[in-house]
Structure 1
Amino acid sequence: MTVPRIGVLALQGDVVDHMRALEAAGAEATPVRRASELDAVEALVIPGGESTAMSRLLEVFDLFDPVKKRLDEGMPAFGSCAGMILLADEVLDGRPDQRSFGVIPMTVRRNAFGRQVDSFETPIAIDGVPGGPFEAVFIRAPWVERVGAGVRVIGTVEAGAESGRDGGEGPGGRIVAVRAGVCLATSFHPEVTPDARVHEYFVGMVRGANAGPVEQEERGTPE
């Protein structure tokens, strides 16, 4: 089985833990700080951190447009927390000059679950990730308030699992994990736990994308 080479955007945020988790999931992980490094990878992880800082640094390092081009061309991507915000096509409570890649049709609210002191952990079931509930860690996390056509909700938390504001609730609670084709996004930080199942799921997505078209059931269904 071919080992996929997956980059981790290494401008700011939790880079090292994502690389560790990708290696545990059977991928070759490499940091991406410039366009030449982006050209050498099959997929990209956008880590948690501070989304406005990442947006600015992507411009400073002349990486925003190259990443956007690869994403528009179908490169698989996984965004956690701030990475989820950067993949969304609409961001609430962001800075006016903040840019996102807009490859997942969804509305994400920054810091929806509260401040750093409101961080929490809770087990959630993730559709497509076997082995029982995943212990999800939320740190100044966003949530998803709207999903568009082709976006599948794969993880929610019950309202009341945290001290956030009202809103962002899907059929099973607040939306915290989605998949749209070859893009995956979570509002929590799977990389800070020793459980590599979410990264294994993404590595499987990358392998599937390299093998041919994504199966229809994996693309999600329109609203």
Structure 2
Amino acid sequence: MSTTIGVLAVQGDVREHLRVLGGLGVRATTVRRPSEVEACDGLVVPGGESTTMAKLARAFDLLEPLRQRVKEGLPVFGTCAGMIMLADRVEDGTADQETIGGLDITVRRNAFGRQVDSFEEDLSFEGLAEPVHAVFIRAPWVEAVGSEVEVLARVNSGPAAGRIVAVRQGPLMATSFHPEVGGDPRVHRRFVDLVEGS
């Protein structure tokens, strides 16, 4: 039976993730209902706007089912706003900011600045031989990690050098950047391997 990986489809760059996952040979499907959360072997929470995404997830009755599946060990990969959605703690969030949680990290929203401060950089990524071309768009960064969290990538240069931009904790993985743009499927491949190995 083929692996089914859902992409949370309330807001954000859903199509791009579906395309990359489909190219890796998994069954990729949109997730908008609690029953669809149950049907997934793994889930991608895409980039977008984290406060809007959380409100829509709440409106679609998805937050509690998502939190429950994360507690049960569902592999989840969050990119950009998806990293914020998986974080246990958020800096510079709104007063009523809700997350799915599960990742023992403190994340700072819009850490790199506004849309005009978006940038691209080649990053060394733990476990990958060649650098990953990372696209950062109004991206968060990780301020602090818990003892169980593995740091997968950091910014190499510039004023944000050394900032953590990719992490993994058990079946949960997150990047500040958008691996779904740029045509390099290796970060998604890591996640698919994580799902298939769990």
Give the Cα separation in 2 of the matches to 1:79 and 1:99.
15
| Counterpart AA for 1:148 | G
Paired residues for 1:68-83 under 5 Å: 68-83=67-82
Give the Cα separation in 2 of the matches to 1:88 and 1:40.
23
Paired residues for 1:93-172 under 5 Å: 93-130=92-129, 132-160=130-158
* Count of aligned positions: 198
Give the Cα separation in 2 of the matches to 1:3 and 1:155.
30
User: For the Cα contact (< 8 Å) 1:80–1:186, is it kept in 2?
Assistant: yes
TM-score of the pair, normalised by structure 2: 0.97
Paired residues for 1:204-223 under 5 Å: 204-209=193-198
Q: Match of 1:101, SS?
A: coil
User: For the Cα contact (< 8 Å) 2:80–2:140, is it kept in 1?
Assistant: yes
TM superposition outliers: structure 1 runs of 4+ over 6 Å: none
User: For the Cα contact (< 8 Å) 2:123–2:154, is it kept in 1?
Assistant: yes
Do residues 194 (structure 1) and 183 (structure 2) align? yes
Identity of aligned residues (%): 57
| 1:32-76 deviations in Å (ceiling 9; x for gaps) | 000111111111100000000001001100000001000010000
User: For the Cα contact (< 8 Å) 2:123–2:155, is it kept in 1?
Assistant: yes
Q: Match of 2:19, SS?
A: helix
User: For the Cα contact (< 8 Å) 2:123–2:156, is it kept in 1?
Assistant: no
The partner residue of 1:176 within 162, 165, 169 is 165
| Counterpart AA for 1:21 | V
User: For the Cα contact (< 8 Å) 1:26–1:200, is it kept in 2?
Assistant: no
Residue 32 of structure 1 corresponds to 31
Give the Cα separation in 2 of the matches to 1:124 and 1:3.
31
Deviation, 1:101, is: 1.9
Segments of structure 2 that go 5 or more residues without pairing to the other structure are none
Deviation, 1:25, is: 2.0
User: For the Cα contact (< 8 Å) 2:121–2:134, is it kept in 1?
Assistant: yes
Give the Cα separation in 2 of the matches to 1:198 and 1:108.
20
- Once the two structures are overlaid, the 10-residue window that deviates more, 18-27 or 50-59, is 18-27
Task: Give me the CA root mean square deviation.
Answer: 1.1
| Counterpart AA for 1:15 | V
